[in-house]
Structure 1
Amino acid sequence: MELLNPLMLWGGLAVAIPIILHFWHQKKGKVLEWAATQWLIEKNLQQSRGIRLDNILLLLLRCLLILLLCFFLSKPLVNWLGAQTSTQKIHLVQANSLIVNNFKFELEEALKKGEKLYWIQPTPSPINDINSIPSTEDFNPLILQSCLNKLSQTVDKTQLELYIINTHTLAEVPTIYVPAPFSLHTVVDSVKQIPKPYLAFANTKLFVNAANQLSSQPELDKNGKYIQNTTVNQAIDALVLNQNKAEKQSITASLKALAEVYNLTINMDTEPVGDKKYNWVFCDKTLPQQSKAFTESTFYIVSNTNQVSASQLSYQQNVIRVPYSFNPQTSEHIFNGELPEWLGETLVKYYHLNPSMSALSYQQLHSLFTYAAHHKAPEESAFSKTLLLAFIVIFGIERYIAIRKNA
């Protein structure tokens, strides 16, 4: 048995209250003289000595009511005798041949033991044959989180075994919540190394160096692997269409900070200028109407997306949807000055400046995955209702006896 609120058991000390009141109620009252007293014999006038325990059943019922109430408020979780006590294992496997080949023995043993195996997909797909890998190998942290959310209702008394490739793309989300105790089984794809693109400007090159840091230097990092040819950009043209004045100031200041730190040229406009083509477009609430200023490669950052309908967002794939406003008064991240750093990460992601399969460190990987405990509510609710019903029945009996005996 588990108690969700064990401190409430200290309320059981209140059981002393009905005991004290019980004896106080039997305390000798004031003697009233009346005419017939003289005819009573002396023996009947003698006081009784010692403690009298009258109405013992009533006293026990009142004590039981207090103890039962404290136990009910402590919110007990009971594992019924018929419930399964052994821990089962569920294996979640990334649909990748590298994972299957590295953990083939463990996965085959799990199949022999009859344990459940699933491919990591938005809707988990059962594995009957580990050699039949799904044709689509799409994987990202959002797909993994969606898979874990689907299993959250069926992981009671379960140990999750996660088999994934350790890549830097896992850190695209701040936290991955796992609804049960888990173990991570990872492998690094050291063979797959993609040459990194970079942005070339007149006097500098913007690239991700070997330490996975965004850098701006006249020459590329000699320890990195980059593509042979790239287009020289004169500047990054940004259009800020946000209607809120404070939000527009935050975005403009952040773009200026980004340009200053990385020695970039970022041109900012608040209204479309002639036939100028824009790389970045910032807007809120509603997307701007299609015009010659917006091309297929235009990158949109839309704030306050809780006010933007799905139809307005569907016609563009290169859109980042931010549910909050870029306003220091409404966003803690903006107030703490984190917007320039976030824009830098967005720039790296949009221009694919870091496509390599760099792995996370042990500390980064294990801080990313968090165990989010999941409790089944029906079992707790059923037992709590039983306790409440018992309390009501005993209270009714206590009131009946108290009224009959006038105690």
Structure 2
Amino acid sequence: MQFLQPILLWGLLGISIPILIHLWRGKKGQVIHWAAMHWLATQDSSVAKGFRLENIFVLLLRILLLDLLVLLLSQVFIPSVSKVSEERIIHLVQPSNLITEEYKFELQQALEKGEEVYWADEHLTAIEGLDELNAEGMFLKLQSSLDKIADETTQLNLYLINSQNSLGSKNYLSKIKPTFFLGIADLANPAPQNISIEGGKKLEVNQNGVLDSIANDQNGPVSITIGKSDFAYYMGEISSSERLFIKASLEAIQDVYGFDFLEKERMEDANLVFDHELPIEKGGNKLYFISDAFSFSEQSNLITFSDQLDFDHSELVQTGKLPEVILERFLAYYGVEQQDVKLSQTQLEHRFLVDSPKSQSKRANLNVILLGLFLLCFAAERYFANQQGI
């Protein structure tokens, strides 16, 4: 037996109320007049105290009424009573021929069992047979497909390429804890990239994924140009403590890499926006950092944080990782590829947040029985209480 609202069990202390009332009435006594009472001498009259059997029965009924009411409010759940009549297993496959080839047998078994198999794309496209296991021209939209998963899903199997660049660096919101089937990817890290900053400064992302300065006359196979205007930022309706830590993070990036961030008074003049409110029109030429907003988006120019970016609320600020996160998102937005790495099972599990855990999706399954017993006891208590005049 489980209680979905266990804090309400403190209401069981209320059973002391009818007990105290009955004890008080028994101590006080009750004067009973009868026909020949006035013929008795005063010294022969006495007061009879104590409970009769009927009083004790009414007391037990009242205690039982309070118990049933508390159990009804605390939402009793018994797992053995609530059995799932039919499992609904869903297989969500990343659009990749590498994945379909590696897990072809598992997907074939799922289709033969009549289980649901979908591509993890924007429309949650269904896969009806093996001849449809061709991912050409399809793109991974993991959050969009997770949002379309049915609430009644009892098991979710995710087939993903074990690659940081393939999965992205965002967190994902799922209605149920997924089981992962990871494909073995050939991690082809990008060639060293040159970043040219307007004004002559050059940086390089080397094969180890480290951003470092290089000589101005050195050229690389890939060159990305970032203008001075791209470093202009705007701070919206955020707290003073958030402003302090965001500015400190930008200054830390500037001290290490020489990026000249400049604050603007109007959003129209900035390319980086720090705010609490999600923009109505998320312009493609701006990168938004939205704090204190629990949202999951596939847009590359929208970065959300579930907490406020200050020391009291954000783990990123407390651990000093906020500058690193801002720089990583900034460079990724302008096309700088990260070094590709494999993800562990624990890393993947931390990236998928469960929207409705099993414990929260339970529903009290004894409410009807408890309500029926409550009404029956209430009727019995009223009947015997009226019979005894108490």
Note the alpha carbon deviations across 1:229-254, whole angstroms, 9 max, x for none: 53788978633455789688766654
1:147 aligned residue = 145
Letter matched to residue 322 of structure 1: F
Correspondence 1:2-401 to 2 at 5 A: 2-6=2-6, 8-9=8-9, 11-12=11-12, 14-15=14-15, 18-19=18-19, 21-22=21-22, 25-27=25-27, 29=29, 35-38=38-41, 52-55=52-55, 57-77=57-77, 83-85=83-85, 87-132=87-132, 133-139=134-140, 143-151=141-149, 153-155=151-153, 158-169=154-165, 170-173=167-170, 175-190=171-186, 192-200=188-196, 205-210=203-208, 212=209, 214-218=210-214, 228=221, 230=223, 238-240=231-233, 242=235, 253-262=248-257, 264=258, 266-268=259-261, 286-288=267-269, 300-304=271-275, 306=277, 308-310=279-281, 313=282, 316-324=283-291, 332=314, 339-354=322-337, 357-374=340-357, 380=363, 384=367, 387-388=370-371, 391=374, 394-395=377-378, 398-399=381-382, 401=384
Partner of 1:292: none
Does the aligned pair in 2 maintain the 1:152–1:374 contact within 8 Å? no
Q: Structure 1 residues 389 and 379, CA, compared in 2 at 3 Å: closer, same or farther?
A: farther
The Cα offsets for residues 79-125 of structure 1, whole Å up to 9 and x where unpaired, read as 68685356543211112111110111111111112222121123422
SS in 1 for 2:179: strand
Specify whether residues 28 and 154 from structure 1 end up closer, same or farther in structure 2 by C-alpha distance, changes over 3 A only: closer
Q: Distance in 2 between matches of 1:28 and 1:240?
A: 79
TM-score, normalised by the number of residues in structure 2: 0.72
- Structure 1 counterpart SS, 2:114: coil
Task: Give the secondary-structure state (helix, strand or coil) at the position aligned to 1:125.
Answer: coil
SS in 2 for 1:164: strand
Q: Name the Cα RMSD after superposition.
A: 4.5
Q: Choose 63-72 or 27-36, whichever is displaced more.
A: 27-36
Partner amino acid, structure 1, of 2:151 = Q
- The verdict on how the C-alpha distance between 1:303 and 1:378 changes in structure 2, with shifts beyond 3 A counting, is closer
Give percent identity, aligned residues only: 26
List alignment gaps of at least 5 residues for structure 1.
Answer: 220-225, 271-281, 289-298
Instruction: Tell me which amino acid in the other structure corresponds to 2:351.
Output: L
Q: Which amino acid aligns with 1:94?
A: Q
Offset of residue 50 of structure 1: 8.9
What is the CA distance between 1:332 and its match in structure 2? 4.6
| SS of the residue 1:216 aligns to | strand
- TM-score (norm: length of structure 1): 0.69
Distance 1:249 1:13 in 2: 50
Separation of aligned partners in 2, 1:343 and 1:364: 20
CA distance in 2, matches of 1:102, 1:15: 63
Mark the CA change 1:126 to 1:344 in structure 2 (over 3 Å): closer, same or farther.
same
Code of the aligned partner of 2:142: L
Q: 5+ residue gaps in structure 2?
A: 293-307
Partner of 2:302: none
Q: 8 Å contact 1:305–1:321 — kept in the other structure?
A: no
- The CA distance in 2 between the partners of 1:287 and 1:98, in whole Å, is 44
Q: How far 1:2 sits from its partner (Å)?
A: 3.5
Give aligned pairs, total: 362
